[in-house]
Amino acid sequence: MAVHSSPRGWRALVATTLIAATGLASGAAFAGPTLDRIKERGTIRVGVGTTPGFFAPDSNGKWQGFFIDYGRALAITVFGDPEKAQFTTSSPQQRLPALQAGEFDVLLSGVTVTISRALKLGFHFGPTIFYDGQAILARKETGVKTAAELDGATIGVQSGTTGELNIADFFRKSGHKFTPVTIEDTSEFIAALEAGRVDAITQDSSDLVGKLTQLKKPDDYILLPERLSKEPLAPAIAGGDDRWLELVNWTVNVTIQAEEWGITSKNVDEFLKSDDPAIKRFLGVDPSLAETIGLDPKWAYSIIKVVGNYGEIFDRHLKPLGWERGYNNLWTKGGLLYSPPFR
């Protein structure tokens, strides 16, 4: 930028800078490359995994699951239409590079938030939607009941996952020996356990609990009680698009805030009659908030009506697998889910 030496020039520069700064402060996290591409294409490309409960096609080939519903919620935020989310699987190894390359707009595939992924690789993360931990699923014939007893075991790990790194830390700390067998492909990973090529596999507990339902003889395996790490799973996006990041953030927040207020897909229409000014703004009965943030006044209403609140999403997909809320409960109920205010 040219240096303005005359007083007039200097004042003009300050004025321009102020306008720019006020523009930022007063409203807009500007659309960047991802959101532009999404709007041009007319769909959101979502990278997912293949674990029942979290993401799996049903008998009609339609994707279902906890993370899938967040993809649908995002499609409502952007297009007002849950069907505008397109789900594609790719391996844990390939999906972050694919996200970086713009092949996906968002990963809803159980990606753990880590500082290297944020600051070294340049990804951004929405709110944690599932607080998880790494687990070990062992063949019962090994006779072990806890991870601490594992010594000399052969353990399958999936390449590109945090699990690959954590398992090495775990054994370094315990002083026991193990042999890692690194496998990229998910079916091969499971097959290695079933065929006895490995004594155990390690992955997020969400993954193992889901995959256990797909094993031919689930009773032959034991999910060891330890959780080796913290695995906060969150939507991941490429850096460089602030507005897209914020839409991801606030889409998740809608589901959490709705649960906090007791608003569900079943009773949301009743809440349209609420006198609470915050709920009126939230559901767009008072459109003033939506107008200032550039969203359809009914966006939160539609997410709740179609997808439901966090608890409904959790109960629909994860309760049947035996999951309890635990950390994945509202802050008001002893959990970690907390939405910032909608105002």
Which residues would be at the binding site for ligand GSH (CB under 6 A)? 49-51, 54, 89, 92, 109-112, 158, 161-163, 186, 204, 206-207, 231, 233
Q: If we measure between CA atoms, which residue out of 224, 249, 223, 227 comes closest to residue 236? A: 249
| Residue 159 backbone zone (phi > 0: left; psi -120 to 50: alpha; other: beta) | beta
CB of 210 to ligand GSH, least distance (A): 7
CB of 232 to ligand GSH, least distance (A): 9
Return the number of the residue (67 or 178) whose C-beta is nearest ligand GSH. Answer: 67
Q: To the nearest 10°, the Cα dihedral for 100, 101, 102, 106?
A: -30
CB of 293 to ligand GSH, least distance (A): 30
CB of 327 to ligand GSH, least distance (A): 15
CB of 107 to ligand GSH, least distance (A): 9
Report d(CA 1, CA 275) in Å as an integer.
52
Return the number of the residue (110 or 126) whose C-beta is nearest ligand GSH. Answer: 110
Return the number of the residue (105 or 207) whose C-beta is nearest ligand GSH. Answer: 207
Return the number of the residue (51 or 329) whose C-beta is nearest ligand GSH. Answer: 51
DSSP letter string over 254-297? HHHHHHHHT--TTTHHHHTT---HHHHHHHTSSTHHHHHHTS-T
Return the number of the residue (43 or 89) whose C-beta is nearest ligand GSH. Answer: 89
CB of 175 to ligand GSH, least distance (A): 25
Q: If we measure between CA atoms, which residue out of 48, 31, 30, 37 comes closest to residue 210? A: 48
Q: If we measure between CA atoms, which residue out of 122, 124, 77, 21 comes closest to residue 252? A: 77
Return the number of the residue (66 or 299) whose C-beta is nearest ligand GSH. Answer: 66
Torsion sign over Cα 289, 295, 297, 301:
negative
Report d(CA 93, CA 185) in Å as an integer.
9
